[in-house]
A and B are shown apart, each in its own frame.
Chain A
């Protein structure tokens, strides 16, 4: 039984079919790549997985559960975490605060009456867990700076950390290396590998950087203009002629 099973997902926007019968499966604890040229529909697919967009057709099953009627915030609680291509951080908060909010959301222990009597602040245990993740991602030195003052690379790590706090069994990463330089990218790759080893989760990775993908994943799906044109092990897919034409052609 796959962890994630997207079956024939279709999404149309006025005029264009952004996703056309896309079927993707991800097993537990596996890192899978999703690649494709600009506008292929990768981000749209993520939005459908998380319920930010409603697919026009198809079915998404997660952990044996049909997600069709599950709202976004519940999907997060079920164990789907994500980062954003266009970074979406909480302005005015520090990395530590980002993680603490996510930790509180995961526990769901916040209640208005607790706030009212002054018991709404993070507990020692929550602080500890946030620090563990900050340390894992190497964010401790910047933990108490406002995110607006941090670099994009750090911002992406904060997004990863925020998603990790919800203890996802599936982590969706949308182009985590875009906008990063070489050093930052390889640092990110090794951090992700370490995160995956330590926290045990499946990762679905959208990326343009081919080396980055190869260094991390075992299987790849290729999207082009909303249709799945190839799927298989990394080695097979990158050898595939159609893939090279559609996607790598411009890069090789």
Chain B
């Protein structure tokens, strides 16, 4: 009993931090509809600045705290709202999600460049108390000064928030928005100001949580902070995404249960080692799938309300046949010339790099399927790739099967896991699918990878290169060719699927789910198919990567954070086309090496900033910068051609649309029928 109570007591401070995070998270979700995945990154900003002021410059605690939390926190929130989220208020949820994902990737990069974290790692962050680790004893229970401070500060913050809500004009308006966003919009509340203030408050909470949490980690790293968001979302889901007090309570409970589990589970069991750190993800996943408050969310919304607007047609569809053929011929020539160059001129360094670029292109085609075709965001593509890679290695090592066979089995296994995962999650729709995949990815990383039958334990399992007859793929050139062949096959499959039944069904579903189901399309089945196919492609690419590297190395290649970066990268280049995925593969491998390191001589951290900020443009160009650029240049070429032929360009003709309200008489362009 006493053991239990002391576990509860130890759980309270960490629960307090979770509660702060949950409050801030629900606040921005309710007022601006943004699922702020970058919340942890914001916490990291304040923690990093606090660290630099305190430890590197030796400032007193109060001064560092005021600058890093009280000033910088709200300022950052204001900046994000004014520069970014203000314009996204009516954007589709997926666009908002991608934007915050872009921030999540870019912000830590910017911070570590600005504050020089790359050169002198930030060891031993301290809390907001002098001698923070000194403990006071209450009877047989003990609390450290830092922990007490955390509890006090959290209570003050909660009281402050309540006071703002109760007694200030803007607080009253915010409460109205939080409680019923639609009503208040009708009543004409200035959503702009409410949005700005809630972003400032939320960001302040993020900063507070960041600084309070810092002493728990031996080193200040953005990855630790990223996990904060999981606790926040779990607590928010507990509150059915609506109630602030419930979110607070949820965070607190999460912290306490976490500590109780530490005590109660036998310490040496893998279950304890795995389950304790992964509790937030398990809780998040179960809440997402089972929590009744979320389950009913779909039923209450208008079934005929619009879904995310469907994407525009492909740029390629708009050009003339001759131009299409010309670009195809040109593309084939470039690919051939490029292959020739690699096989004859490149040294082994570049050969390996380009092979990896090709392999990653395969993996990225899985994002083309799930995002570009199905319009969903999955945050566990790296996990599927890992499943493929680990299965390839383990089956080949333990059962002596040919690696090419185990690579295919790995892909099938990943597809099966994908289908199983999608089954409960898809019912919840876009944003919740994204969150469930994130929870799964973190669960895999923190629990499954610990099992040696999964990841091979401490040493990553080796993978042999295949030998088919007289062709030995131990030769890097042969392996490069094999990768190119796999990429070609997968590309063709993706193009076939896009123009086949599955692709058409997904197109229909994206435009109008009700209309699609009214003609007999099963929405869940179509989406699960897409999800499984995507997982399978990722698994295949993962297996190929393992064979190329001769290791299946989870930590080095497939961690959750990489997976998030992949999504950001592909989405910012263009997730709808096969070229987009291929350019993504080369962007990942060649861009940092060639452009950043060799040409510009800057740190490769810049890639996170470039692509992270690129993803922020997603809301404006959901088709990615590549496709948007292509459309522009194509329009230009087409216009030139048309002018030469003496035709008016199609842009000059007025086009009647069906977007008119139904009561308006529509202008009749097609009335010759």
Contacts and interface: CB of A to CB of B under 8 A. Distances in A.
Contacts of A24: none
Contacts of A151: 656, 658, 666-671
Nearest to B664: A179
A232 interface: no
Contacts of A111: 501
Interface in A94-126: 97, 100-102, 104-106, 108-112, 114-121
B140 interface: no
Interface stretch (A28-36, A161-169, A212-220, A222-230): A161-169
Contact of B507 (A92, A153, A154, A163): A92
Contacts of B497: 112, 115-116, 120
Contact of A165 (B312, B519, B662): B519
B658 A148 contact: yes
Nearest to B492: A118
A133 B656 CA distance: 24
B344 interface: no
A115 B496 contact: yes
Contacts of A118: 492, 496, 500
Nearest to B508: A90
Contacts of B666: 151-153, 155, 179
B669 A120 contact: no
A125 B656 CA distance: 33
Interface residues on B, range: 35 or more
Given A73-B521, A139-B673, A149-B656, A101 B310 contact: no
Interface residues of A, number: 69
A96 B663 CA distance: 26
A22 B533 CA distance: 45
Interface stretch (A1-9, A45-53, A59-67, A241-249): A45-53
Contacts of A166: 519-520
Contacts of B504: 97, 100-101, 104
Contact of A115 (B501, B507, B518, B659): B501
B322 interface: no
Contacts of A77: 520
Contacts of B304: 47, 52, 84, 86, 88
B368 to A, nearest CB: 15
A149 to B, nearest CB: 5
Nearest to A116: B493
A148 B521 CA distance: 22
B345 interface: no
A150 interface: yes
Given A77-B520, A88-B514, A90-B515, A101 B508 contact: yes
24 contacts: A47-B304, A52-B517, A54-B299, A73-B517, A87-B658, A88-B514, A90-B511, A101-B519, A102-B519, A105-B505, A110-B505, A112-B497, A112-B533, A117-B496, A121-B500, A139-B673, A145-B670, A151-B658, A151-B671, A152-B658, A155-B666, A163-B519, A166-B519, A178-B662
Interface of B: 299, 303-304, 309-313, 492-493, 496-497, 499-505, 507-508, 511-512, 514-523, 529, 533, 655-660, 662-673
Given A86-B304, A108-B520, A114-B500, 11 more contacts: A76-B518, A84-B518, A89-B511, A90-B511, A106-B520, A114-B501, A118-B496, A140-B673, A154-B673, A178-B662, A179-B666
